Structure 1
Amino acid sequence: MAMRNPYARFNQYKQNNIMQASPEELTLMLYNGAIKFINQGILFIEQKNIEKTHNAIMRANAIINELNATLDMKYEVAKGFRPLYDYISDRLVDGNISKNVDALKEALELVTELRDTWKEAMVIAKKK
């Protein structure tokens, strides 16, 4: 008898949410994912688990790089995000190389501010 994946329904639910999400909601999901992985990186540094630290930070950095790569530079605001995403990525790399919690906390603070601002913008846009 084949063993079923106990998380299959949950994974299907997550997949459906992603497929049905608006671009604005997808961006919010990316910010939340980056925050989750940075927090994991901090936790794993404290636990001295080098491999898990590296993997979590790499996942967070991949999200930031995706956000950076998908900026539409025809908008002036996007030009302001590029150096910010680059800086966050640099802090993540520094934190990963040196296992520096302070660098990760700085990145976490910036990503959290971006996420919170994005959520506010989504609320304002829905009112219009």
Structure 2
Amino acid sequence: MYVDAHRKGARQYAEVHTSSNFGEESPHRLIQMLMEGFLARINSAKGAITHGDMEAKSIYISKAIGIVGGLNEVLDLEQGGEIAANLRQLYDYINFRLLQASSENSEDILNEVTVLMKEVKEAWDAIA
């Protein structure tokens, strides 16, 4: 299905980056890198919209959706309890908004999901 394809893509993205570029990073750092990658893709998508490059916008948003799928996939609902369940809902919402942003070419929606992911990332970064 659509979601499964994006999850597979996110998994492959993480595997390529972890095996080729980042050596033996901790699982905590890998999640940070996925969040950083998400924010970079959203930034690139906003730039593409500004420059009228709709093909690039679609590519960057698709990659961001894949990254969110990867973040969603690593959630442990049993051990993470309510926090993990809330994150799953948030990630689903972010992906829904990304699809809207893509269809509407909306930088405002991209700004919204950027703020949401930055809040999650700030909390994650504080867990060191």
- TM-score w.r.t. structure 1 length? 0.81
- The percent identity for this pair of structures is 30
Q: 112, 118, 123: which one pairs with 1:106?
A: 112
Deviation of residue 66 (structure 1)? 1.0
Asked if residue 94 in structure 1 is aligned to residue 100 in structure 2, the reply is yes
Q: Residues 50-81 of structure 1: CA distance to partner in whole angstroms, max 9, x if unpaired? A: 00000011101100011112211102121111
Q: Partner amino acid for 2:84? A: A
Question: What's the counterpart of residue 42 of structure 2?
Answer: 38
- Number of residue pairs the alignment of both structures matches: 111
Deviation of residue 16 (structure 1)? 3.8
Deviation of residue 15 (structure 1)? 2.2
Runs of 4 or more above 4 Å deviation:
none
Asked if residue 15 in structure 1 is aligned to residue 25 in structure 2, the reply is no
Q: Which runs of 5 or more structure 1 residues have no equivalent in the other structure?
A: 1-11, 123-128
Q: Partner amino acid for 1:49? A: D
Separation of aligned partners in 2, 1:66 and 1:30? 8
- TM-score w.r.t. structure 2 length? 0.81
Max radius of gyration: which structure? 1
Separation of aligned partners in 2, 1:115 and 1:44? 24
Q: Residues 11-67 of structure 1: CA distance to partner in whole angstroms, max 9, x if unpaired? A: x9x8241x3111000000000000000000011001000000000111011000111
RMSD, aligned α-carbons? 1.9
